[in-house]
Chain A
Amino acid sequence: MTPNALLQISLYLVVLLLLVKPLGAFMARVFQREKTFLDPVLGPMERMIYRVARIDAGREMDWKENAIAMLLFNGIGLLFVYVLQRAQQLLPLNPEGMGAVSPDSALNTAVSFATNTNWQGYGGETTMSYLTQMLALTVQNFVSAATGLALLALIIRGFARHSVRTLGNFWVDMTRSTLYVLLPLSIIFALILVSQGVPQNVSPYEKVPFLQSPRDTSGAEVKEQVIAMGPVASQIAIKQLGTNGGGFFNVNSAHPYENPTPFSNFLEELAILLIAAALCYTYGRMVGDTRQGWALLTAMTLILVGMLVVCVWAESGSNASLARLGVDQMAGPGQAGGNMEGKEVRFGIANSALWATVTTSASNGSVNAMHDSFTPLGGMIPLIAMHLGEVVFGGVGSGLYGMLVFVIVGVFVAGLLVGRTPEYLGHKVESFEMKMASLLILIMPLAVLAFTALAVVMPDGRAGIANPGAHGFSEILYTFTSQANNNGSAFAGVSANTPFYNITGALAMLIGRYWLAVPTLALAGSLARKKLVPPSDGTLPTHTPLFIFWLIAVILIVGALNFLPALALGPVVEYFMMIH
């Protein structure tokens, strides 16, 4: 790793960790319905929303009512996005005259944005009208992230409470997450992005004559190029903050209008992990022991740093196949060195590898470089980051509640190791909790492996592969890994806008989101009902370095056992074939 890379990555981590406490404490106040400095402005708006929507903000609900509320709300949102895409040609704000989106692609996109996956089988600037981008996609960017936050708030209360049935009110948590957390942050962020040159308009696309006309594949001269426009900044802000990742343009944050400068790149990278990291502190506050939150943040950060080191090392190293041809791949004043294929020169290797690692750790899925062009090991890191179950930071809300499931499993085995019925934060971990935790750990690998297997045997699945050999396998594995984990980043390479991939992908995304959210709510509901077991000297503390180490080990071993064989047939064998 070059000193330059080290400096950039260190700066990133330091700034991120410095923001954890202030934002985390603020979010804890929001979830606990305490006073915040935004109350004078947002308080009246909040009360108005409750009045209009007839929400009894004082009424708490148990886990089942909350789960139903969440599913209904998301279902309606999904339907809305679908209808809007299918009817966009009839609606205003469509200066480019985009036609109706195909049914399977519209379904995939609707599911994708409702589940906070933001997998994009389509190209934004050639498919979606401005109305669809703003009313369907950007709105879902907010509410799918707010759904994650609201679910987390409910689940944390389950971990914090004792001897009660209720977890809180989904509608209230949704409203407050959107109003107090996502909206203010997005407004500030969008304004900064505009200052960096990100467009925010509803103008038709610009046509600009070339200074020197290139020729197309048929040899004809191309006179002018089309430059896409649109309300970009407002969508990019929430896309990064809400771990959505669905770009306005097809190439996402590699596009100069989505991500023009190194500064915008730094902020967009920061926004990917910002809320997820701060939520750890929020968690500590809400369960009344900030050490618990710091412990989780430490575990996440250590895993992230480990993956970062490998990714940057792999990308800045030399390619053995090129080295045999005598190509100079060393970094120097004249060149970046390493593997620059598929990377933007303005970001370089360190920031491309950093982005790739954090975007897959955090279930964001936006990209500023093409993961398909990474070296085998460099490209394996985003895969692994997702295979760990999106619990290393993960999606806003969903990452932390996924992590809590691993904590439950870790506590269970550790409890047995010290000879006591396991307990976490004063709750006994018993068979119902293990049932839910097992279900949660089980579903993601099942979905990924089963859909990948289906795709490699079905002619429709094989048809989408661009590259031959083991790399083709990596591409399919990545496609379903990304969707089942609600990440949404694409390895690229697979032509995924086909009925087969749109429908299997939609299923994978639905399973990955709701099949995890509902059992986690049930788990939290069960914990809330339990009597408090006061800690004694025999209780295993869950904030010590030893427990953090154990938690990391559990996450890595579970991930490795699930995916080692599949990885061996993809990136691992690619790597060995490359170096031989």
Chain B
Amino acid sequence: MTAATAALKKPLGLTGEMYRRAFLDSLAKLNPRLMMRNPVMFVVEVGSVLTTALWIQALIGTGEAPAWYIGFVSLWLWFTVLFANFSEALAEGRGKAQAEGLRRARRETLAKRLKEPRHGAAFESVPSTELKKGDAFLVDAGDAIAADGEVIEGIASVDESAITGESAPVIRESGGDRSAVTGGTRVLSDWLVVRLTAEPGGGFLDRMIKLIEGARRQKTPNEIALNILLAAFTIIFLVVCVTLLPFSLFSVQVAGHGAPVTVTVLVALLVCLIPTTIGGLLAAIGIAGMDRMIRHNVIATSGRAVEAAGDVDVLLLDKTGTVTLGNRMATEFTPAPGVAKERLADAAQLASLADETPEGRSIAVLAKEQYGLRGREVREIAAHFVPFSAQTRMSGADIQADNPAFRRIIRKGASEAIRAFVEAEGGTFPPAVLQTVQDVSRAGGTPLVVAENSEVLGVIYLKDIVKGGIKERFAQLRLMGIRTVMITGDNQLTATAIAAEAGVDDFLAEAKPEDKLRLIREYQQGGRLVAMTGDGTNDAPALAQADVAVAMNTGTQSAREAANMIDLDSNPTKLMEIVEIGKQLLMTRGTLTTFSIANDVAKYFAIIPAAFATTYPALNALNIMKLASPESAILSAVIFNALIIVALIPIALRGVKYRPVSAVQLLRRHLLIYGFGGLVAPFLGIKLIDMLMAAFGWA
């Protein structure tokens, strides 16, 4: 199960309060000016008003049908509108709750504005809203950061849980890739001098609040295209229903008996036929898509980006952290000829005891696991630890360096550095070891050579560990037609081996940031949509070029601005979930559209015989559901039409379950469930409602 589907299994997290608010909002949304943005539901509202007028007419004078009947139809038409509004309000509600939390974090902040942009300069306390772009301000331990900015001085640990939900603090410091801070987060220790990079109201937090609240929600391209299709269907059905009145008048005249179809029935038929199910839920589906991103701790800057994610053809993945675990691990010791494996392991462990890098630790662990060499304290053996330096390009340990008899100078490092070391000590570098070094490189590993005094002991095989399950993940992506490209700074040999092991489709070795940009352009010229992740300032041009660009929240301000999504967890694997969410959004729209249109067949069978029952009793042969009476048939269809919106709200909010299978399999499955199901379901539903009405004697 992927993380995305796992997250979807989570309950929707709706509280009673949210339901209550959504109910009130759905009433407020009845405002015709708001309704007009959704042509399908606007038609339903007009129909509701019309039938209400007919009901009043029936109450005070002579109506076209019994008042109770018109009233009932009208009531359920109003319900149809309200249910659609409710779904939208409910989808918005969750966002609103989140936005309010964020807004609280922002409101109470005071900023210490510095007269000069340096630590120790005088400052005055001003509300964060009075800060201007370019102002510098001081943040001490315990202070909240007033607004988005760039650290220009200092280093501090920052609690960003307000926006990421992650409680572990992160380090922010001036210069480099960790210099961006976000308004609303809190400095836990030390201090920072921050220069404001965004105007008040335009900061990250503000943008997020706006996004979540949907204030700037615009219709996405695909949503617009779908809306056009739905509007076309609505117009067709409008004409179908309007022309039925003259047809019916004519039929009554030629048949010589019966009454023409009533306006109430025509409005009921119209509302049943127009795609209210998808029309009512469309807004909720879009909002829920954005919301699913947020629940995955990804902030998308536009709905368009979420949609584009579903279309991505190429994923550019950084090797480290995405394809492989962040660190290389020691997996094997290969001794030089004539050297015992145990001796090599022992020396390797001694050389790594004080090496706190993950690689160093993995060497100690391997020695302990394979040869039972217990970890020793550096103090205990009177060793002096020599840390890695750029000049020597080696690390190791000196044991009793002043005692020529027991002198042990142990070093580990790249083969050239060790060759220089042993030759300086008067030894030689055995050709067999050189061979091992080359073999390891070819296999995608990093060889570390271990030497003691003038003798080369052997080679440690440091291996990039490909993440568990990643190969299967890539296979799934391939099935969906998505190409994975690994980007790495490693040399060609190493990259080839890792690419083969991870099962990526392609790789770019010895990659520089400009290579990334070039690669994206190449793919785009071929008509592909490219997604990538990045964090550094030098990633910014590539991020700006990519169609779906996810910036790590730990990244620099420029990277975050160039991207169209920000991953608050800073997890490069998230890209795959983002693609899934994008696809889910489109699939949910597609399935509910199919379902909605397929429903119409049954509604015709319910309403047509009922509408013309008095003119052409022979048409009752079409009443294949054997509905009790013309009135109950029409009411059942209208009630089903309204209730199905409510029944499908969970699918709209959760999204259709995503499956990594080929397009043809997916189409077959969805046609079966939503196409065929959409044909059958209303026959059962309408019959059931009719039976209930008959049982209560309302038919």
**Most interface-central of B226, B251, B674 (chain A CB within 10 A):** B251
Q: What per-residue 1/0 map shows which CB atoms of B254-285 lie under 8 Å from chain A?
A: 11000000000000000001000000000000
Flag if B239 contacts A416 (CB, 8 Å). Answer: no
Give, as a whole number of angstroms, the nearest-CB distance from B5 to chain A: 14
CB–CB A419/B666 < 8 A: yes
- On chain B, the residues within 8 Å of A457 by CB distance are 246, 249-250
The one of A418, A430, A453, A468 in contact with B243, judged by C-beta atoms closer than 8 angstroms, is: A453
Chain A residues closer than 8 Å to B307, beta-carbon distance:
421
A445 at the interface (CB under 8 A from B): yes
Contact of A536 among B243, B481, B586, B593 (CB under 8 A): B481
CB neighbors of B among A442-465 (8 A): 442, 445-446, 449-450, 452-454, 456-457, 462
Q: Does A87 contact B (CB under 8 A)?
A: no
Which residue from B231, B243, B480 sits with its C-beta under 8 Å from A438?
B231
Contacting pair B619 A568 (CB below 8 A): yes
Q: Which residues of A contact B242 (CB under 8 A)?
A: 453
Instruction: Verify if A207 is at the interface (C-beta below 8 Å from B).
Output: no
Q: Kindly supply a per-residue 1/0 record for chain B positions 219-235, scoring 1 wherever the CB is within 8 Å of any chain A CB and 0 otherwise.
A: 00110111011011101
A532 nearest CB neighbor, chain B only: B527
The answer, yes or no, to whether A263 is at the interface (CB within 8 Å) is no
Stretch at the interface among B144-152, B400-408, B596-604: B596-604
Residue contact A414 to B232, C-beta cutoff 8 Å: no
Does A429 interact with chain B (Cβ within 8 Å)?
Answer: yes
Q: Is A562 an interface residue (CB 8 A)?
A: yes
Q: Give Cα A409–Cα B247 distance, bound, in whole angstroms.
A: 30
Q: A47 at the A/B interface (Cβ < 8 Å)?
A: no
Given contacts A541-B663, A562-B240, contact A439 B670 (CB under 8 A): no
Pick the contact of A569: B311, B612, B664, B670 (CB < 8 A): B612
Interface of A is mostly: helix
Which chain B residues border A580 with CB–CB below 8 Å?
A: 618
Residues of B31-70 whose CB lies within 8 A of A: none
Determine if A412 and B225 form an interchain contact, defined as CB atoms under 8 angstroms apart: yes
* Distance (whole angstroms) from the CB of A294 to the closest CB of chain B: 17
Rounded to whole Å, the gap between the CB of A507 and the closest CB of chain B is 16
User: A418 near B254 (CB under 8 angstroms)?
Assistant: no
Determine if A417 and B239 form an interchain contact, defined as CB atoms under 8 angstroms apart.
no
Is the pair A452, B232 in contact by a Cβ cutoff of 8 Å? no
B224 to chain A, nearest CB (A): 5
CA distance A419 to B236 in the complex (A): 27
Q: Mark A412-439, 1 if CB is under 8 A from B, else 0.
A: 1111111111000010011101110111
A572/B622 in contact, CB under 8 A: yes
Interface membership of B662, Cβ < 8 A: yes
Tell whether, in the assembled complex, residue B612 and residue A564 are in contact, meaning their CB atoms are under 8 Å apart.
no
Of B235, B247, B587, which contacts A418 at CB under 8 A? B587
Instruction: Using CB atoms, name the residue of chain A closest to B579.
Output: A419
Q: Which residues of A contact B233 (CB under 8 A)?
A: 561
Whether A412 lies near B527 (C-beta < 8 A) is no
Among residues of B, the one whose C-beta sits closest to the C-beta of A561 is: B600
Q: A420-B311, A573-B619 are in contact. Are A453 and B247 (CB under 8 A)?
A: yes
Quote the shortest CB–CB distance from A327 to chain B (angstroms): 22
**Structural contact, A470 and B251, CB atoms closer than 8 A:** yes
Is A91 an interface position by the 8 A CB rule? no
Chain A hits for B528, CB < 8 A: 533-534
Q: How far is the CA of A547 from the CA of B226 in the complex (A)?
A: 20
**Is B214 part of the binding interface, using a Cβ–Cβ cutoff of 8 Å?**
no
Q: Any chain A CB within 8 A of the CB of B608?
A: yes
Question: In the complex, are the beta carbons of A417 and B667 less than 8 A apart?
Answer: yes
Asked if B237 is an interface residue, CB under 8 A from chain A, the answer is yes
A469 contacts which chain B residues (CB < 8 A)?
254-255
Contacts of B616 in A (CB 8 A): 470, 569, 573, 576-577
Provide the residues of chain B in CB contact with A412, threshold 8 Å: 225, 229
Distance to closest chain A CB from B690 (angstroms): 20
Report B640-675 residues with CB < 8 Å from chain A CB: 658, 662-664, 666-668, 670-671, 674-675
- B527 and A420 within 8 A (CB): no
Q: Which residues of chain A are near B26, meaning CB under 8 Å?
A: none
Is the CB–CB distance between B250 and A456 below 8 Å?
A: yes
A565/B247 in contact, CB under 8 A: yes
Q: Are B247 and A566 in contact (CB under 8 A)?
A: yes
Q: Which of A413, A420, A456, A533 makes the CB contact (< 8 A) with B247?
A: A456
Within 8 A of B (CB), among A543-573: 544, 546-547, 550, 553, 557, 560-562, 564-566, 568-569, 572-573
Instruction: Tell me if B591 and A417 are in contact (CB < 8 A).
Output: yes
Question: A529-542 CB contact bits vs B (8 Å, 1 = yes)?
Answer: 00111101111110
**Of the candidates B480, B601, B618, which one forms a contact with A538 in the assembled complex, judged by CB atoms under 8 Å apart?**
B480
How far, in angstroms, from A412 to B223 measured CA to CA in the complex? 12
A121: Cβ under 8 A from any B Cβ: no
Specify which of A426, A540, A561 lies most central, judged by the most chain B CB atoms within 10 Å of its CB. A561
Q: Which residues of chain A are within 8 angstroms of B668 by Cβ–Cβ distance?
A: 546
Q: Is the CB of A434 within 8 A of B229?
A: yes
A150 interface residue per 8 A CB criterion: no
Q: Which of A421, A439, A541, A565 contacts B608 (CB 8 A)?
A: A565
Contacts of A430 in B (CB 8 A): 221-222, 225
**Contacting residue for A576 out of B225, B251, B526, B618, CB 8 A:** B618
Docked-complex contact A537 and B662, CB < 8 angstroms: yes
Contact B675 A416 (CB under 8 A): no
Query: B584 an interface residue at 8 Å Cβ cutoff?
Result: yes
B583 within 8 A of A: yes
In the assembled complex, the CB of A283 is this many whole angstroms from the nearest CB of chain B, namely 22
Q: A419 to chain B: which residues have CB within 8 Å? A: 310, 582-587, 590, 658, 666
Given contacts A537-B479, A537-B480, contact A431 B228 (CB under 8 A): yes
Please name the residue on chain A nearest to B580 by beta carbon. A419
Report yes or no: B612 in contact with A538, Cβ–Cβ below 8 A.
no
Give B335 Cβ to nearest chain A Cβ, in Å: 47
- Which A residues touch B244, using CB under 8 A? 565
Given A412-B229, A565-B608 in contact, is the A538-B527 Cβ separation under 8 Å?
no
Nearest CB to that of B600 among chain A residues?
A: A561
Residue A82 at the B interface, CB < 8 A?
no
Q: Tell me the nearest residue of chain A to B248, going by C-beta.
A: A569
Query: Is A418 touching B619 in the complex (CB atoms < 8 A)?
Result: no
Note all chain B residues with C-beta closer than 8 A to A414.
590, 667
Within 358-414 of A, Cβ neighbours of B (below 8 Å) are at 409, 412-414
CA distance A453 to B248 in the complex (A): 10
**Could you tell me if A468 and B247 are in contact, using CB atoms closer than 8 angstroms?**
no
Residues of A within 8 A of B658 (CB): 419
> In the docked arrangement, what's the CA distance between A438 and B236, Å?
10
Docked CA distance A565–B619 (Å): 11
Is there a chain B Cβ closer than 8 Å to A472's Cβ? yes
Q: What residues on A are CB-neighbors of B670 within 8 Å?
A: 417-418
Task: Give the residues from 456 to 505 in chain B that come closer than 8 angstroms, CB to CB, to chain A.
Answer: 478-483
Asked if B662 and A416 make an inter-chain contact with CB atoms under 8 angstroms apart, the answer reads no
Chain A residue nearest in CB terms to B231: A438
- The listed residue with most A CB atoms (<10 A of its CB), out of B221, B254, B479, is B254
State whether the Cβ of A473 lies closer than 8 Å to any Cβ in chain B: yes
Partner of B586, one of A416, A539, A546: A416
B140 to chain A, nearest CB (A): 49
Instruction: Check B313 for interface membership: any CB of A closer than 8 A.
Output: yes
Tell me if A441 counts as interface (CB < 8 A to partner B).
yes
Q: Could you tell me if B619 and A416 are in contact, using CB atoms closer than 8 angstroms? A: no
Can you list 7 A-B contacts (CB < 8 A)? A413-B594, A420-B310, A431-B225, A434-B225, A449-B243, A457-B249, A553-B675
Other than the known A412-B225, A537-B663, what 19 A-B pairs have Cβ atoms closer than 8 Å?
A416-B226, A421-B221, A431-B228, A439-B232, A441-B232, A445-B236, A453-B243, A454-B246, A456-B249, A472-B254, A533-B527, A537-B480, A538-B480, A546-B671, A557-B601, A561-B273, A561-B600, A564-B608, A573-B612
**Contact surface of A with B, Cβ cutoff 8 Å:** 409, 412-421, 426, 429-431, 433-435, 437-439, 441-442, 445-446, 449-450, 452-454, 456-457, 462, 468-470, 472-473, 531-534, 536-541, 544, 546-547, 550, 553, 557, 560-562, 564-566, 568-569, 572-573, 576-577, 580
- Pairs A-B, 10 closest by C-beta atoms: A538-B481, A416-B590, A419-B583, A438-B232, A536-B481, A537-B481, A576-B618, A456-B250, A417-B590, A431-B225
